[in-house]
Amino acid sequence: MEISALTRSVVKRNHAIIAPDGYINSNVPGWLNCTVNVIINEQMGARLAQTLVTLRAGGQLTGQTQASQIFFFVVEGQCEASVGSQDRTLTAGQYVYVPVGQQYLFQNPTEGTQILTFHKVYEPLAGQATPAVLFGERDLAKAPVYMNDEALRIQELLPNELGFDMAVNIFTYSTGGHLPMVETHIMEHGLMYLQGQAIYMLDNEWYPVKKGDSIWMAPYCQQWATAMGQEDSVYIYYKNVNRFPTVI
């Protein structure tokens, strides 16, 4: 029998593991006929938000971005997306980036469609245009080898241009793949595992993680990870980029 008093989730000062077993649903105005789990937000000390939305048949997400841009990624299922003047059907692995001040509508989902969102307050940069709406899809063929290690591949889902102040990448570790060093950096991460299992080290603590788990890493939270098991270990992650690093 499972013991309901146990969980792999932890919430610490500079990192969190959020496993689905502890989800409690939120109501979000304009997001209808769906369950919304707010996995990361500023209440934790984060400077991004990450949610997971599960749509019922007839569900819809409607709204207008304000100060924050939103990246929507279809984890499972399919739905119709209307953003700006563009209408597309999005299936698993496809995404749309919605810049600030833009209306969006997601509708006609298949039952159980899951959409992951990353939100960040947009910081404009003088001389750089605010990014436009962007559609795209997961594609391992567009994921170059990372740091000369054939076991590691990263696909960048947003262009590496100064107008963007956030990156969203898909990181694939094949069996035996691991980060080449303990990373110690100013950038913050939110992530969700899309496939497989891994061991993640955060601030010198060791966590087994798997598909469906999410992780928050504050700036300077030391991090290392290795794939575990017989299949690729894959996560989609957010990172803040391209802005002046200090107010001093």
Residues near ligand UGY (CB under 6 A): 171, 183, 187, 189, 223, 237, 239
CA 69, 66, 119, 84: dihedral to nearest 10 degrees?
-40
Task: Name which of Mn ion, ligand UGY, none residue 171 binds, using a CB cut-off of 5 to 8 Å depending on partner kind.
Answer: ligand UGY
Closer residue to Mn ion, CB minimum distance, 183 or 232: 183
Question: Nearest distance from residue 196's CB to ligand UGY, in Å?
Answer: 14
CA–CA gap between residue 1 and residue 43 (Å, rounded): 34
Cα Rg of the chain (Å, integer): 18
Question: Nearest distance from residue 11's CB to ligand UGY, in Å?
Answer: 18
Residue 156 lies near Mn ion (rule: CB under 5 A): no
Question: Nearest distance from residue 6's CB to ligand UGY, in Å?
Answer: 26
SS3 118: strand
Question: Nearest distance from residue 159's CB to ligand UGY, in Å?
Answer: 16
- Quote the DSSP letter at residue 140: G
Residue 183 lies near Mn ion (rule: CB under 5 A): yes
Cβ neighbour number for residue 243 with a 10 Å cutoff: 12
Contact partners, residue 158, CB within 8 Å, separation at least 6 = 71, 97, 131, 134, 164, 166, 167, 168
Closer residue to ligand UGY, CB minimum distance, 19 or 187: 187
Contact stretch for Mn ion (CB under 5 A) within 80-88, 149-157, 159-167, 179-187: 179-187
